Amino acid sequence: MLLRGLLCGTFLLIGVTGMFLALRDDPSDDVWRHQPALAELNSAAGRSPWNPRLGATVGRYYALDPDIQNFPKSERELQRVIALAPADYRLWLALGETLSLEGKLAEAETACRRALALAPNHFDPQWQMANILFRQGKLAEAAPFARRSIALDEESSPLMLDLGWQISNGDQAFVTSLLPESPAVQLQYLKLLTAKQRTADAVTRWKQLPAGTQTELATSAREFVRQLIEQKEFASAWEVWATLPEQRASKPVRGAVQDGGFQAKPSPDACFEWKYAQPEVGARLRIDPVGPEGRGGALKIVYESEGQAFEHARQLILVGDGRYRLTYFTRSNQLASGSPPVVEVRQASAPQGWRVRSSPSMIGSQTWTRNELEFAAPAGVNAVEIVIYRPSECSTGGQCAIVGTAWFGGFSLEPATSTPADRSKP
């Protein structure tokens, strides 16, 4: 790639990106993308000396190709084509970028201001001016241009906000000055804070957003929650998830099983809800509206498998110190296997680490039966996953086939020191 030798730092990356954006969607870009030999370009420009876009391509070639890089030639060619079309702001931007790459920042700023005067409402001049001013250390002067460029093209916000963070050494007051009034950009800033290990600040800022903004961001905010979960910031993820508009009505309780009766509509981007496995050969899942009495519906699993393991559903739950009691109900119909389904509680931050499994008591045909699984999470573990799981191994070794139907429902979690009001079968 022609740019490989030049893009040695963030500023060059930002600047060259701006140059390509400025000169996009033009027929001469086809010439640039195909990267002909310089002799061919010069020959074409010689046959069409009055074509400013073709001449600009030659100028860009001299600025960006490390093999023949010649900034004075680039400047001369760009100044020549500017004389042909002085009202084309893209030519001024190309000249400004060449001067910037050459280190002539004051002259680059002048060229860019000419482009701004010609196209004040275009993204590219705003973006390039912010970059040039950043390189001169004029942060306060650069901020309005950076903010305007983001407002004109919100997809540019991750790159510009990250640059603002780097150039200001993580000054949040400065970075927030780059934010336009856009919910989507606000969310990008939260993601940046999380990526920079400023999770508490990200959560605080989310809580400070107006309810209307939170509602508008509801779908995208789940990506933010999942980012927090991936970084094992489980408590922070819960704080954001619990304030999402769709959760406010249900008023979720921290440390409790959500939708223990399987009555909610499955979510394709579950965070602290039940997360179901994709359709699997040998195990068909569906929600049965009839579950244990007074406890909603149930997860129904129909098996016809030669022996593979299945993880049917899982849910992430925050826990603290002390012992917990997980209560749930099971039912079966003609279930036959040396390895029936069980429930596991696993350490969320290390799924292959600490875990506790229920006894595999479900076999044959049984009515609804109450089950309990007590556990105490190891020190430092603040989140676990409840997993409805069918292991593949038999107690006698090897893999076990499984056929029949199983139901799970009525999940609840409470401190083990409490005494349930009713511990009888439904």
Q: Do the domain assignments include residue 5?
A: no
Q: Do the domain assignments include residue 161?
A: no
Domain stop point among 237, 252, 267: 252
Residues 72 and 148 in one domain: yes
Domain stop point among 252, 283, 298: 252
pTM: 0.72
Contact 388/280 with Cβ under 8 angstroms? no
Q: How far is it, in rounded angstroms, from Cα 151 to Cα 257?
A: 41
Residues 150 and 281 in one domain: no
Residues 217 and 336 in one domain: no
What is the per-residue pLDDT across 356-415, written as a single tens digit (0 to 9) for each? 999 877 889 999 999 999 999 888 899 999 999 998 777 666 678 899 999 999 999 999
Q: Do the domain assignments include residue 172?
A: no
Contact 340/302 with Cβ under 8 angstroms? no
Residues 384 and 353 in one domain: yes
Residues 216 and 295 in one domain: no
Residues of the chain with pLDDT under 70: 1-50, 395-398, 418-426
DSSP string for residues in 26-71: -THHHHHHH---HHHHHHHHHH-TT-HHHHHHHHHHHHH-TTT--H
Contact 340/312 with Cβ under 8 angstroms? no
Domain that holds residue 396: 275-415
What is the per-residue pLDDT across 282-340, written as a single tens digit (0 to 9) for each? 899 999 999 998 889 999 999 998 878 889 999 999 998 889 999 999 999 999 988 89
